[in-house]
Amino acid sequence: MSKATYPLKLPASVKDAAARLAREDGVSLNQWIAAAVAEKVGAVETAAAFLKARAGTATGAGLRSFLDRVPDRPPQTGDELER
């Protein structure tokens, strides 16, 4: 596995919390941050793939057609937009 270095600047509170969690997990701060970033990348990529598959062949025009069928009436009590 190739590795790349990246200078990372974190707020002190975030670094302290990450260091504490790394100690609790028995790993180095570097290992903990690498695992956290890998976990986040996996979650974002999985979500993007899920949403793309879920959207299927949906189009903006299809959404507009769907929204055009909504009755034009005031919202029910409690559903008003706050301004």
User: Does residue 73 lie within any of the structural domains?
Assistant: no
How many other β-carbons are positioned within 10 Å of the β-carbon of residue 74?
7
- 11-53 tens-digit pLDDT: 999 999 999 999 999 999 999 999 999 999 999 999 999 998 9
pLDDT at 36: 97
Is residue 79 assigned to a domain?
Answer: no
Q: Is residue 77 one of the residues assigned to a domain?
A: no
> How many structural domains is the chain composed of?
1
pLDDT per position as a tens digit, 60-69: 888 899 899 9
- Banded model confidence at residue 1, pLDDT cuts 50, 70, 90: confident
Domain boundaries, position 58? 12-68
| Token digits of residue 4 | 């790349």
Q: How far apart are CA 69 and CA 37, in angstroms?
A: 44
